[in-house]
């Protein structure tokens, strides 16, 4: 399995600001994903991070709010823009090491917006 790290592990932010979350993998992976998990709830896929092209967003998520970069096969960033308290959540990066069949999650970033 891949070793995945995320930065920051947690943060407390003010309303209206933006936060960029980094996801680093120790090996090249074909697929990288960003999820949100709100308190007490299951995971919701935000987008698939595509290397060298624009991310593919799920219904209800837009690029202006959650811009994503993926400059290479081991790194991606998710920005949460113009934050509001409703954005308080855990944000998780996951990778598919051999296609979608094996998907592993990073440790997550706990975000609290005041």
Partner 1 sequence: GQNIDQPTEMTATEGAIVQINCTYQTSGFNGLFWYQQHAGEAPTFLSYNVLDGLEEKGRFSSFLSRSKGYSYLLLKELQMKDSASYLCAVYGQNFVFGPGTRLSVLP
Q: Which residues bind partner 1 (CB under 8 A)?
A: 1, 33, 41-45, 58, 92, 100-108
CB atoms within 10 A of CB 52: 8
Query: Of 88, 71, 84, 60, which Cα lies nearest the Cα of 22?
Result: 71
Length of the chain: 114
Compute the least distance from the CB of residue 58 to partner 1, in Å. 6
**62 token code pair:** 């837009």
User: Residue 20 or residue 38: which is nearer to partner 1 going by CB?
Assistant: 38
Instruction: Considering the complex, state which of residue 10 and residue 15 has its C-beta at the smaller distance from partner 1.
Output: 10
How many Å apart are CA 28 and CA 98, to the nearest integer? 10
Shortest distance (Å) from residue 1 CB to partner 1: 8
Which lies closer to partner 1 via its Cβ, residue 75 or residue 105? 105
Instruction: Tell me whether the omega of the peptide bond preceding residue 55 falls within 30 degrees of 0, making it cis.
Output: no
Note whether 16 and 83 are within 8 A (CB): yes
In whole angstroms, the minimum distance from the beta carbon of 32 to partner 1 comes to 12
67 or 96: CB nearest partner 1: 96
Residue 75 CB, nearest distance to partner 1 (Å)?
18
């Amino acid at each position: 399995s891949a070793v995945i790290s995320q930065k920051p592990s947690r943060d407390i932010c003010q309303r209206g600001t933006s936060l960029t979350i980094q996801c680093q993998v120790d090996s090249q992976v074909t697929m990288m994903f960003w999820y949100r998990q709100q308190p007490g709830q299951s995971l919701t896929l935000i987008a698939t991070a595509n290397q060298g092209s624009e991310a593919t967003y799920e219904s209800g998520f837009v690029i202006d709010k959650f811009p994503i970069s993926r400059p290479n096969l081991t790194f991606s960033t998710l920005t949460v823009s113009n934050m509001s308290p409703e954005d308080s959540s855990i944000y998780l990066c996951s990778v598919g090491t051999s296609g979608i069949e094996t998907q592993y999650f990073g440790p997550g970033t706990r975000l609290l917006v005041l």
